Structure 1
Amino acid sequence: MNTTYLGLELKRFARDRVTLFFVAILPAFFYLIFGVAQDFGSESAGNGNVALYIMVSMAAYGAVTATTGIGGAAAVERMQGWGRQLGLTPLRDSGYVAVKATLAVLVALIPVSVIAVLGILTGAAGTAAAWGLSLLGVLAGAWVFALFGLVVGLAFRTEGAVNAIGGIVVVLGFLGNIFIPLSGTLLDIARFTPLYGYVSLVRYPITEGALPDSSGGTAAVDPLWLPLLNLGAWALILGLLATWLVRRGRGRQ
């Protein structure tokens, strides 16, 4: 991976104060509304309490929002001619994708760190393993969604498509079991969507695979291999698509 190019990308992102603000504040706001403001936040939930369960869920959502934005912005760059300039350098298409994915993970540290601090201050509780493994899982899987943003932007090649990524993430968030507990047919469908595997892995150190239903019971228990397979399959699909679309876009320029 080209560390010089990655350093330039980090400096450029740091100058975008408006984006920094929304990346850091919006997921934290959701945590305060859905977690801290609820009376059931202190109730037990596996190896932690409900507040911790909601905290890691919102951290995952914030990481996805940040990383898809990075991927979408990369697509806009290429549509504006940046790909032609990169074509004159030794940077390979796979290297370009790797730099953007790494940048996305580093940016995802912002909302994750903010929400983790809020969780400590507002009563999110759990075992040390539940805390550590869940937050590491948020960061470890976030790069997949930088590829998702890149694929959407490069496939449709319009700024409108890039702007629509935020709405797509909200829909996938519902299907990913982030905002409301799913059951029955909806849960069966959700298991094939991109965010499901990611969020399930993030929650696994807390719930050990148990999926709550709307009544407070357990809708199902997922074995660990299921979210691992989901995330791994989507990482492979999106990685191959992103590399192919980058190469195709360079050929058109």
Structure 2
Amino acid sequence: MSATTSRPLTPRTAGGEARTRGRRTAYLGLELWRVVRDLVTMFFVVGLPAFMYVLFGASAGYSQENAGNGNVALYVMISMAAYGAVTATVGIGGMAAVERMQGWGRQLGITPLGDGTYVATKAVVALVVAVLPIAVVYVLGLLTGAEGTLAAWLGSAAVLVVGAVLFALYGLVFGLAFRSEAAVTAASGSLVVLGFLGNIFFPLSGLLLEVARFTPLYGYVALARYPLTEGMVVDSTGAMRSEPLWMSVANVAVWTVILAVLATALVRRSRGRQ
């Protein structure tokens, strides 16, 4: 009686791995195309921050005044790029949560791609789409008189890309909590309020500034500006004050933990209902 060995359902052959990579690449391309073909969304993610930079930065009479390790145009450029990046990641994070709640995750579960590919693909899409407004606004800045040290340019861009992940969690929490596309729209809309509190659109002062320091967008933007300003903050009266780096780092770290814990709790709650 001859012994037989069972063959795995998914053989680890070169051909099988190549097909799996091909499926992953195709799925990534599909997800990217699904996002970028939405012209309304792309306008708010890329076009609006670029327009606001030109309006409040490049074309402003004070754009060439000094601002730390650069000029005011660079300061505004970083702010508008930050707004575009978080708008992108909030929307993608929120829609990923809604898709999972509506059963898209179970559909992928019966394919060779699986949950890991879904999560990794969404992370890559969020990163790529977040880079788009940053790249567009930075190119506009380069062409329209934004000036600063190389460290200010590269350091701020790096913080903007990496820190935008925090707002993918922000969108994820909204999507998991309310289970609807309207919730994702509300999450993206709330960024306008957070943008004002984050010192993006105009400088704050007094009690409002003290409260704003505890909001999530404030720490992210302050950290992105740090290579330019080295912690100097201008309030609405024109007065300048210094903020230590640890305050911005602590703000981002604490909000990352809070949103990660909330997202985890909401995932567990959703599983308990199934």
Same fold (TM over 0.5): yes
- Mapped contact 1:63–1:138 kept (Cα < 8 A): yes
The CA distance in 2 between the partners of 1:239 and 1:124, in whole Å, is 36
Q: Quick check: 1:231 aligned with 2:252?
A: yes
- Mapped contact 1:100–1:146 kept (Cα < 8 A): no
Aligned-partner SS, 2:237: coil
- Mapped contact 1:14–1:20 kept (Cα < 8 A): yes
Q: Quick check: 1:124 aligned with 2:146?
A: yes
Match of 1:146 among 168, 173, 186: 168
- Mapped contact 1:87–1:250 kept (Cα < 8 A): no
Q: 1:247 to 1:150 in 2, by over 3 A?
A: same
The residue aligned with 2:227 is: 205
Q: 1:91 to 1:228 in 2, by over 3 A?
A: farther
TM-score by length of 2: 0.83
- Mapped contact 2:95–2:181 kept (Cα < 8 A): no
Where do residues 1-253 of structure 1 align in structure 2 (5 Å cutoff)? 4=24, 6=28, 8-86=30-108, 91=114, 99-218=121-240, 220-253=241-274
Aligned-partner SS, 1:40: coil
The CA distance in 1 between the partners of 2:123 and 2:271, in whole Å, is 19
- Mapped contact 1:53–1:203 kept (Cα < 8 A): yes
Instruction: Give, as a single letter, the amino acid of the residue that structure 2 aligns with 1:249.
Output: S
State, as a whole percentage, how many aligned pairs show the same letter.
63
How far did 1:79 drift? 3.4
TM-score by length of 1: 0.89
How far did 1:21 drift? 3.9
How far did 1:233 drift? 1.3
Mean alpha-carbon deviation: is it higher for 160-169 or for 77-86?
Answer: 77-86
Mean alpha-carbon deviation: is it higher for 163-172 or for 242-251?
Answer: 242-251
The CA distance in 2 between the partners of 1:102 and 1:196, in whole Å, is 25
- Mapped contact 2:205–2:237 kept (Cα < 8 A): no
Mean alpha-carbon deviation: is it higher for 137-146 or for 184-193?
Answer: 184-193
Alignment RMSD: 2.3
How far did 1:147 drift? 0.9
How far did 1:40 drift? 0.4
Greater relative contact order (Cα < 8 A, sep 6+):
1
The CA distance in 1 between the partners of 2:259 and 2:202, in whole Å, is 26
Mean alpha-carbon deviation: is it higher for 117-126 or for 233-242?
Answer: 233-242
How far did 1:16 drift? 3.5
How far did 1:226 drift? 0.9
Aligned-partner SS, 1:177: coil
How far did 1:17 drift? 4.3
Q: Give a deviation string over 1:98-117, Cα, whole Å, max 9, x none.
A: 54344212111110111011
How far did 1:192 drift? 1.1
- Mapped contact 1:97–1:242 kept (Cα < 8 A): no
Instruction: Give, as a single letter, the amino acid of the residue that structure 2 aligns with 1:62.
Output: G
Instruction: Give, as a single letter, the amino acid of the residue that structure 1 aligns with 2:220.
Output: Y
Mean alpha-carbon deviation: is it higher for 73-82 or for 43-52?
Answer: 73-82
The CA distance in 2 between the partners of 1:98 and 1:182, in whole Å, is 38
How far did 1:26 drift? 1.0
Instruction: Give, as a single letter, the amino acid of the residue that structure 1 aligns with 2:130.
Output: A
How far did 1:120 drift? 0.7
- Structure 2: any 5+ residue segments left out of the alignment? 1-19
The CA distance in 2 between the partners of 1:110 and 1:240, in whole Å, is 29
How far did 1:176 drift? 1.1
The residue aligned with 2:12 is: none
Q: 1:179 to 1:21 in 2, by over 3 A?
A: closer
Structure index of larger Rg: 2
